[in-house]
C-alpha cells in the first residue's frame, strides 16, 4: 500500500442499505413556515401539493391524523374542509 492514499475499502458503503425516515405532514408544514422559499409538501395520499403560506398557522393547529384526512383543497384554499 502506498502512503498518502486512502484505500477504496475505507469509508461509506456503496449499497445504500437501510431506511430513511420521511418527514410527517406536520414536520413539513413547520419546515415551510421556517423557510420562505419552500411552499410544497409531500402528502401520502395526494403526492406533492402546494400549501398556502397564510394557512400554515391554522394547519399546524391540527394533529397528524386530521392532516391526513383533510381534503387537498384545504392546503391551498382559505377554507378548511374536513
- Write down the pLDDT at residue 2: 57
Q: 31, 33, 24: which is closest to 56 by C-alpha?
A: 33
Q: 45, 44, 41: which is closest to 55 by C-alpha?
A: 41
Let me know the angle formed at the C-alpha of 25 by 57 and 45, rounded to the nearest 5 degrees.
Answer: 125
How confident is the model over 10-62, as pLDDT tens digits?
666 666 666 778 899 999 999 999 999 999 999 999 999 999 999 999 999 99
- Write down the pLDDT at residue 42: 94
> What is the chain's alpha carbon radius of gyration, rounded to the nearest angstrom?
20
Full-model pTM: 0.73
Q: Is 7 buried (19+), middle (13-18) or exposed (0-12) by CB count in 10 A?
A: exposed
Amino acid at each position: 500500500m502506498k502512503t498518502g492514499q486512502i484505500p477504496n475499502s475505507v469509508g461509506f458503503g456503496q449499497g445504500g442499505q437501510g431506511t430513511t425516515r420521511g418527514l410527517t405532514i406536520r414536520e413539513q408544514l413547520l419546515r415551510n413556515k421556517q423557510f420562505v422559499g419552500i411552499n410544497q409538501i409531500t402528502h401520502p395520499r395526494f403526492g406533492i401539493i402546494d400549501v398556502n403560506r397564510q394557512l400554515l398557522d391554522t394547519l399546524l393547529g391540527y394533529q397528524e391524523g386530521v392532516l391526513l384526512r383533510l381534503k387537498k383543497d384545504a392546503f391551498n384554499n382559505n377554507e378548511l374542509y374536513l
